């Protein structure tokens, strides 16, 4: 089940909200857990036991770590981490390793063909952070299994994040605020995120599909695809994050922000402070800093950075193009820190050209089926292979999608939110906005529903991670 579907919007969610708000405070987490398991089992019932086993081992080892001291606490931490990573590794990476072993050795080991449980990368990281924080003494171990399971399995953020740490919401599991104002804020955030996904990301995804199926490609068409791909990934994932954060507020939780207009960044370093912030901070706090961060000698520091970005790429998918994608950013970040950071600070125009160009190439690599396809696409963007500069089909789709592309470019900046904020600061306009906002949101829901009913199914891109 996905958020941008009729069953979720008009059957599942209304029923969940009715039961949740009718339940007494002591049973709200139980309702949240049961409905989250139903949500997850809707499409993949066979993987519910896998998730419950992962939660159970985290629950038990969390208590054991808290009760133990020194050596045994480290042993229990290691066992729990190994169990979580082995499950993730088996489900997500086993066939990748077998394929590469076969390629290198000439063997013919059969692939396991394991189906990837949706959301396993996200809930595994949440359990790992919980166990690590209990070991560090940052939070006490959760003694109520239902509370811990509700935190891990909570359906708003289970499938594609943001990666919510236990420290962020531990207090809210026992005592959280439910108010009309917070609920209204959550609904607004959810509807806007749904609009991002259905009206913008899915339309850009259609353009990307048209490009890949086209036999009339040109240099311009390749650049058009790169732009559409980069914007689609942003609106798809940030739209899901908005919906998750919005639903969290409806249920009384405050989830961390995950995106902060990354495409206005002045450097790649700044981009990664704005893009998928929950993942970046997770790798910083649980991998980079424990390795020594930047407090070690330069060779070790460089190794730390490369390892973190290798893992960041590998986390996104079991394929060499994802690893190359992560290492590409790691090398660029190192070069920025050591070589041309000061040069970037001296120019405003060129640094934006640099950032946008890098991001377009990076998301072509990210979206490619393999490294060969990515390399072919990037070369074609510069006219390799005798491609024409402009093709009839490319020009047609540029004209057809120019409005949605313009909307996406503007929507990827804070211009709209800044304009609305300024209007709200004026009393006369604020009153009008307060009246118009629910009407606009309701109309938006009707339009989105029409698109969902009329359009084809477009799963969230980050479901595969």
| Nearest residue to 140 via CA among 170, 174, 176, 175 | 170
Residue whose entry in the numeric block shows the structure tokens 């990934």: 233
Cis peptide bond upstream of 68, omega within 30: no
For residue 285, the 8-state DSSP code is I
Question: In angstroms, rounded to a whole number, what is the distance separating the alpha carbons of residues 94 and 85?
Answer: 12
Tell me, rounded to whole angstroms, the distance of Cα 238 from its chain centroid: 7
pLDDT of residue 465: 53
pLDDT of residue 376: 94
CB 162 within 8 A of CB 256: yes
pLDDT of residue 350: 85
pLDDT of residue 30: 96
Structure tokens at 326: 């992560």
Catalytic residue among 178, 276, 316, 352: 316
DSSP per-residue codes, 28-64: HHHHHHHHHHHHHHTT-GGGHHHHHHHHHHHHHHHHH
List Cα–Cα distances, 83 to 56, 161, 170, 374, 454, in angstroms: 11, 21, 23, 34, 44
pLDDT of residue 364: 96
Question: In angstroms, rounded to a whole number, what is the distance separating the alpha carbons of residues 60 and 58?
Answer: 6
Question: In angstroms, rounded to a whole number, what is the distance separating the alpha carbons of residues 463 and 118?
Answer: 6
| Nearest residue to 231 via CA among 203, 266, 191, 211 | 203
| Nearest residue to 235 via CA among 207, 256, 270, 269 | 207
How far is the first Cα of the chain from the last one, in angstroms, to the nearest whole number?
16
Question: In angstroms, rounded to a whole number, what is the distance separating the alpha carbons of residues 265 and 344?
Answer: 12
List Cα–Cα distances, 305 to 265, 272, 308, 326, 328, in angstroms: 20, 13, 5, 11, 12
Question: In angstroms, rounded to a whole number, what is the distance separating the alpha carbons of residues 312 and 291?
Answer: 15
Question: In angstroms, rounded to a whole number, what is the distance separating the alpha carbons of residues 403 and 410?
Answer: 11
CB 167 within 8 A of CB 138: yes
Structure tokens at 370: 């393999």
| Nearest residue to 236 via CA among 61, 455, 33, 408 | 408
CB 65 within 8 A of CB 135: yes
pLDDT of residue 424: 81
Active site residue 352: no
pLDDT of residue 98: 94
Question: In angstroms, rounded to a whole number, what is the distance separating the alpha carbons of residues 408 and 233?
Answer: 11
How many CB atoms are closer than 10 A to CB 136? Answer: 12
pLDDT of residue 254: 93
HEC per residue, 427-462:
HHHHHHHHHHHHHHHHHHHHHHHHHHHHCCCCCCHH
Instruction: Indicate the burial class of 254 (C-beta count within 10 angstroms; 0-12, 13-18, 19 or more).
Output: middle
pLDDT digits (tens, 9 = 90+) for 188-233: 999 999 999 999 999 999 999 999 998 889 999 999 999 999 999 9
pLDDT of residue 156: 92
Taking the CA atoms of residue 343, residue 349, residue 350 and residue 354 in that order, the dihedral angle to the nearest 10 degrees is 110
pLDDT of residue 461: 59
pLDDT 10s digit of each residue in the chain, 465 long? 788 889 999 999 999 999 999 999 999 999 999 999 999 998 778 899 999 999 999 999 999 999 997 889 999 999 999 999 999 999 999 999 999 999 999 888 999 988 888 889 999 999 999 999 999 999 999 999 999 999 999 999 888 879 999 999 999 998 898 999 999 999 999 999 999 999 999 999 999 999 999 888 999 999 999 999 999 999 999 999 999 999 999 999 999 999 999 999 999 999 999 999 999 999 999 999 999 988 899 999 999 999 999 999 999 999 999 999 999 999 999 999 888 877 777 787 888 899 999 999 999 999 999 999 999 999 999 988 888 999 899 999 999 999 999 999 999 999 998 888 888 888 778 788 888 888 999 999 999 999 888 865 565 555 555
């Amino acid at each position: 089940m996905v958020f941008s579907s009729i069953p979720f919007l008009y059957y599942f969610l209304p029923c969940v909200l009715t039961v949740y708000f009718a339940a007494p405070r002591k049973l709200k987490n139980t309702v949240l857990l049961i409905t989250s398991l139903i949500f997850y089992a809707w499409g993949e019932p066979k993987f519910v036991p896998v998730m419950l086993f992962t939660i159970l081992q985290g629950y038990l080892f969390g208590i054991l770590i808290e009760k133990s001291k020194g050596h045994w606490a480290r042993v229990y931490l290691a066992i729990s981490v190994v169990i979580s990573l082995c499950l993730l590794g088996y489900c997500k990476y086993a066939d990748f390793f077998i394929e590469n072993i076969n390629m290198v050795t000439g063997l013919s080991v059969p692939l396991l063909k394991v189906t990837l449980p949706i959301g396993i990368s996200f809930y595994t990281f949440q359990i790992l952070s919980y166990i690590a924080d209990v070991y560090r003494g940052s939070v006490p171990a959760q003694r109520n299994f239902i509370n811990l399971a509700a935190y891990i399995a909570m359906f708003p953020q289970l499938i594609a994040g943001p990666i919510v740490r236990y420290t962020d919401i531990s207090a809210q599991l026992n005592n959280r605020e439910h108010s009309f104002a917070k609920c209204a804020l959550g609904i607004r955030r959810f509807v806007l995120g749904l609009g991002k996904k259905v009206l913008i990301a899915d339309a850009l995804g259609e353009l990307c599909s048209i490009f890949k199926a086209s036999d009339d490609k040109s240099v311009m068409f390749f650049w058009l695809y790169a732009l559409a791909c980069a914007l689609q990934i942003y609106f798809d994932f940030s739209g899901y994050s908005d919906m998750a954060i919005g639903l969290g507020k409806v249920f009384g939780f405050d989830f961390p922000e995950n995106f902060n207009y990354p495409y206005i960044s002045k450097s790649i370093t700044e981009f990664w402070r704005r893009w998928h912030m929950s993942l970046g901070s997770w790798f910083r706090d649980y991998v980079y800093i424990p390795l020594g961060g930047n407090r070690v000698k330069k060779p070790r520091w460089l190794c730390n950075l490369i390892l973190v970005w290798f893992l960041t790429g590998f986390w996104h998918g079991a394929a060499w193009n994802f690893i190359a994608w992560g290492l590409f950013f790691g090398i660029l970040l190192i070069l920025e820190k050591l070589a041309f950071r000061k040069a970037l600070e001296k120019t405003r125009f060129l640094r934006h050209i640099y950032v946008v160009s890098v991001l377009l190439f990076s998301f072509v690599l990210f979206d490619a089926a393999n490294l060969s396809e990515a390399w072919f696409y990037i070369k074609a963007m510069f006219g390799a292979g005798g491609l024409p500069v402009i093709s009839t089909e490319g020009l047609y789709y540029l004209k057809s999608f120019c409005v949605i592309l313009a909307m996406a470019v503007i929507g990827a900046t804070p211009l709209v939110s800044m304009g609305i904020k300024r209007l709200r600061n004026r009393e006369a306009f604020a009153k009008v906005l307060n009246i118009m906002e629910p009407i606009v949101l309701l109309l938006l829901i009707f339009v989105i529903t029409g698109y969902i009913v009329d359009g084809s199914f477009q799963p969230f891109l980050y479901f595969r991670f």
